[in-house]
Each structure stands twice: as C-alpha cells, then as structure tokens.
Amino acid sequence: MENRPIVGITMGDPAGTGPEISIKALADPAQYEFCRPLIIGDADIMEQAKGFVGHPEIRIHRCETVADALFQPGTVDVLHLPLIADVKNFELAKVSAEGGNAAFQCVKKVIELAMAGEVDATCTNALNKEAMNMALAQDKGARSDGYTHFDGHTEIYATYTGTKKYTMMLAHHDFRVVHVSTHVSLREACERVKKARVLEVIEIANRACKDMGIEHPRIAVAGLNPHCGENGLFGREEIEEITPAIEAAKAEGITGVTGPCPPDSVFSQALGGWYDIVVCMYHDQGHIPLKTVGFVYDREKKDWKAVEGVNVTLGLPIVRASVDHGTDFYHAGKGNGSEKSLINAMRYATRMAIGRKKALVR
C-alpha cells in the first residue's frame, strides 16, 4: 500500500522562479522518497523552465487528473492548466495580469483537489499580489467566483475552505512562530491583541504541533510591549489580554504554554530548544527573527547564500505549506534561484499530512 502523501505543488507566478525551483527540487530523486509530488500549473511553462535550470533529461508528464500521475523520479507530473497563451513571448520578471491569473488559478485548483481528498497536502510557490489583484480586478471576479481582491495566499485558502479561525506559522527547521495578526498596520495590530484572539492562536499552535508529531508542545507566548510592559509601566496588554489568554489555555489542558515572555529574548530561547513554537503578537515580531535565521546573504559574492524558511497556514481543514520568499523576479530565467525553501515546504507539508492521518486513526 502506498503511504507517501500526494503533495500538490502550485507553480506560482510564471514570471518568477517558481517553475524553475520546482524543476530543481524534483530533479533530485530524494524528494520522491517521502512524498508523491504533483505540479499544478501550465506544462508548457514547466517545459521552458527545464531549459533555464539545465535539466533537459527531465520528462514533463502532462496529466488531466491526479490519477494520471506516475510519481517516478526523472519525471515531473504536471496537472496541466492552459494558462499562458504564448509561452515563448511571455515576459519574465514583469508584473502582469496574465501571470497573476495563472498563479491564482493554480492555487484555486490545488485547494479544490485537497478539499476533494485527491491530494493529501498542498504546497505553494510564490505569487505576486499586485499581479494577482490586477487580474482579479480586470476580470471583475469572472474567473474567481466574484472575488476581486485577496491580500495573499492565506486569505485565498481561508475563503475557499470556509475557514474563519486561522493563522500563519513560519518555520525554519524546528524554530517556529505563529501570529495573532499579520497583514495590518502596526497600530491596528496592537488593537487586535485581545484575549479571545490570543487564546485562539495558542489553541491553533497546540494543534499544529501535535499534527507534526509533538505530543506535549512547549508554547511560548511573546509579550507585546518592551519587557512585557513592566507591570503596566509600558502598556497593559500583557495584564489585561495576554495573561488571561494564557491562563484560559492552561484551564483547557494546554499545560505547555508559557508567558508572557519578553520579545527581546524569547526567540533566542526558542532557537536554543526551549520551545517548540512562539506565539507572536504581530507580523514583524515573528517574521524578523525567522528571516534573520533563514535568509543568509553572502557579502563577498553579493548574493543570497541561503533563502530558507516555510510558511504554513494553520487552522485549515487541509494542509498548506509554502516557500517563505517572494516571486524572486531578479533570478527569473537565470536558473540560479534557490529551491531550498520549496524542499523544506514539501517536507513540512508531508509531515503534517502524515500527522493528521495518524490522528484520524487514533
């Protein structure tokens, strides 16, 4: 019996490096040892990407359904969506409605497959938000069920899965952060630090850790203010919202939760193995430490030595992991974009899919 999860992988915006890093990742037979990968995208774009990355030996296998996939090393299965009218003349590294629509349609399709149980997990390459929303607005929602704007992947997934309670997790190996709020102004982010939402994110983080096979999650909850407010001297959110949420979580049986923890030291502690996950109060509180660790710049070569990290949407009825970088227009068509984040995302998606199946068995 086949135990490897089927992972649906979107090609991302074709003007970026998504197709190229997908070929680079799947050119390594090691990826097929832990999952059955299936690209959701335009097969002609994937054929073009082979040339950019120097892998002419790879066979692009066009599929009409998931059942058509071969899942064999040396072959990249592509659930073909005819999205780009003229691949040879499609401009790379440029924001376009055609590229934005292509990226969106791949995401919509992979969600549909996961909700139908045809794939066990989903993994997304980067889309360009400007290009996507340009396409949605131009079509007036004609190809997007009436929706003319999305903030990003997370909101698309929440909408098409009917999910109301969700959050973003970023991970670099065993260093993980989740967020009480993400794409809002800092002023609004502070206003969103409320007991109910903090408790909700603690609960989601706890479930996610268990999905990954961590039986007794150790959850740190960061404070909002410097030094956690110094007993109200620098703010009262820790006293009035965050601590009550932590106490409520403990009362529910989430005994591994700790906090509020000073934001200037909790991430060093998490890197040191004290915690399995850190609940952050706003976008940059979590993103900055994660990307400082995962994004490494080579001063001498004046290029990125490592662009690693995984973005996971928690709280969904399906598994979604993603690269933790943008469309990388700078490297598009050059074949030198890094596939490391995509490989890590595939592995996270696989791990969570397996964890969910085990939970169902229990």
320 Cβ contact list (under 8 Å, min separation 6): 114, 121, 122, 123, 124, 153, 157, 312, 313, 349
pLDDT bin (cut points 50, 70, 90) of residue 68 is very high
| DSSP H or E segment with residue 155 | helix 153-161
How far apart are the C-alpha atoms of 248 and 261, rounded to whole Å? 17
Taking residues 36-41, what's their average pLDDT? 98
Angle at 31 between CA 72 and CA 314, to 5 degrees: 120
Mean pLDDT of the chain: 94
pTM for this prediction = 0.90
Residue type, 61: H
Q: Cα 85 vs. chain centroid, distance in angstroms? A: 28
- Distance from first CA to last CA of the chain, Å, rounded? 19
Q: Residue 182 forms beta bridges with which residues?
A: none
What radius of gyration, in Å, describes the C-alpha atoms of the chain? 21
pLDDT at position 295 over 90 = no
Helix (H) or strand (E) holding 172: strand 167-172
Chain segment 127-161, per-residue pLDDT in tens: 999 999 999 999 999 999 999 999 899 999 999 99
Which pLDDT band holds residue 1 (cuts at 50, 70, 90)?
Answer: very low
pLDDT in tens, 178-187: 999 988 999 9
- 118 three-class SS: coil
Angle formed by the axes of helices 263-271 and 283-294, nearest 10°: 40
- pLDDT tens readout for residues 211-252: 888 999 999 999 999 999 999 999 999 999 999 999 999 999
Output the pLDDT for position 296: 81
